[in-house]
A = this chain, B = another copy of it.
């Protein structure tokens, strides 16, 4: 479904959302440790997330990664799209170019409502929304 990179990025961003309060910063090393992804790998992803204004960072001693209020309002879908591209939920599951409501592929009818609801869940819920659910023990991350 998602690439490994997309999974890691989602985990990392949610970890940040929960652990960095205000301007408190989190080290790449800590994120790496807690989501069990090699530091060099997650560091690269974090840098790309910064470039896309999905998370924030500061260099030097006392530096690290954190989320601004604006970052917390970013819809989840942006993380996925940054890494796996925009076609992930939009192109036909069988790879057929013609597939649409009028000329559906053999799987289209069976899955499209559920696919659509997943897409909207990612489009209309922000990073903060997901973090809130975790805080309320409605969902869980490792640890």
Known: A7-B95, A114-B118. A109 touches B139 (CB 8 A): yes
Quick one: CB contact mask for A104-115 with B, threshold 8 Å, 1 for yes? Answer: 111111110111
Interface check A78, CB cutoff 8 A: no
Give CA–CA (A1, B89) in the complex, Å: 9
Q: CA separation between A14 and B95, bound complex, in Å?
A: 14
Residues facing B in A45-85 (CB within 8 A) are none
Which of A99, A109, A141 has the largest count of B CB atoms less than 10 A from its CB? A141
- A residues in contact (CB < 8 Å) with B: 1-2, 4, 7, 10-11, 14, 93-99, 103-111, 113-118, 121-122, 130, 133-134, 138-142
